[in-house]
Amino acid sequence: MTPPPPLGDPSLQDAEALAHALGVDTTLGLTAQEAARRLTQDGPNELQAAPPRPTWRRVLAQFQDPLVLLLLVAVAIALVAWLIEGRNGWPVDALVISLVLMLNALLGYVQEARAENAVAALARMTAVTSTVLRDGKEQRVPSAQLVRGDVLVLNEGDAVGADARLLRATSLRVQEASLTGESEAVTKDAATLSTPAPLAERAAMVFKGTAVAQGTARAVVTATGMGTEMGAIAELLEATVETPTPLQQEVARIGRMLGVAVMLIATIVVTTVLLLSDIRTASDVITVLLLGVSLAVAAVPEGLPAILSVVLALGVQRMAARHAIVKKLSSVETLGAASVICSDKTGTLTRSEMTIGRVMTASGASDVTGVGYAPQGRVEHQGSELGEGALRSEHIVVLSGGSLASNADLRQQPNGEWEIHGDPTEAAFLVAERKLGVHERRERRFERVGEIPFTSDRKMMSSIERDHEQGDAMVVITKGAPDVLMQHCTR
């Protein structure tokens, strides 16, 4: 059986004891079979969203606008009048208004369905993955498949897929703005807390929905899905009530005013005619009442909902042409009322990709062609590919050195696309080194045996490598702030 969830705050418990309680060996991780069994038992590591509305409810929602309800009343009145008149001919007024309402509902339904499908497709494209230790090997799995007891392997740039207790951490800083609102990255370590602490001060924990800004770590998953801190926030959000947009509020106000005005005017007209006319029979009374009904129906602007829907639909199409998805037609007008839009720059205005474009050494400079993480391009000097010589040797030292003093990883996916794991700046060195064509020799020649991580005090990161081409001699490759490195240079 799956071990029960740990009692109390995991940050107050010893990490190894907690892992033992969760039934996992921290050096091997869970087995694939055990992970699959826990996933079946606990369910996917996903936040529960409100169940999708069935089609009939989405169609019905198109008729809940006050102005549309007023038109439905007009249709009913027109049909009653047609029946009273003896069903002479076709009920043209009722049919025309009904047709307009159906077209309006169809337009709104189709647009919302398209938007929901687009959002669902976007969610599938941006599915988050996590690196875990299973069967003693590091594996990349969808974060939705994380289970309690999984050992997370965290590197710079990784998204934290579940709430987890740190087993060990090296210079770890985590961006928790999405959870706590704190704009600065928070320093984390694996030390057990002695007293309970607020969420923002639980240094021994990492939480779902946050991201690693610096450093590396391993952590054991303690909660998934709605059991995470992010899940608790999701539960609170489910209780929020959606407020009408400014346009919906205005249309509702117009609908109420029209309804009152139409009924008042029709009542005044019918009353006046009944008092001033020579009413002798019941047929005369019915004729006067039909006059009031006709006046009420004629006063209702049956074309207004359709006009609003068409105008908003045009706005949606213009937004779609600019790759913006609008889920509800009325949201277009709300966006138009916005004066300030606050957005995260990375991934919105930029792609969070770093590319080395120029390399300068003592013997000269060269240009690196190509952009992005695909190693497509070359290193050029004065318009031609960089050849053998001192300049190339110096470039090899710079680019291979930058690749050695790095924890980033560059991989080609089965679909041919290139993906990085780690810091974008470090990945830029890996890409440029591949363009120079020396990455394979560097991988054969050097073997990492140690690392001195970057800290805010030291401002340097050092990688200790064994050089197989120099009799297994030890070499230290260091990168860091220029002013700090210059102090350690002897020539």
DSSP assigned state of 3: P
CA-based end-to-end distance of the chain: 64
Q: In which region does residue 139 sit, left (phi positive, over 0), alpha (psi from -120 to 50) or beta (all else)?
A: beta
The backbone torsions φ and ψ at residue 235, rounded to the nearest 5 degrees and listed phi first, read: -65, -40
How far are the Cα atoms of 165, 390, 445 from residue 488, in angstroms, in the given order? 38, 24, 26
Handedness of CA 398, 400, 404, 406 (dihedral sign): positive
Task: For residue 257, give the 3-state DSSP assignment.
Answer: helix
User: In 56-150, where do the E strands start and end?
Assistant: 129-134, 137-142
> Pick from 61, 62, 68: which is nearest to 301 by CA?
68
Whether residue 99 contacts residue 288, with contact meaning beta carbons closer than 8 Å, is answered with: no
Task: For residue 167, give the 3-state DSSP assignment.
Answer: strand
CA distance 366 to 371: 15
> Pick from 31, 19, 10, 44: which is nearest to 147 by CA?
44
Concatenated DSSP letters of 130-141: EEEEETTEEEEE
335, β-bridge pairs: none
Residue 114: both structure tokens together: 């398209």
Write out the catalytic residue numbers.
344
Whether residue 370 contacts residue 350, with contact meaning beta carbons closer than 8 Å, is answered with: no
Residue 5: both structure tokens together: 């969830």
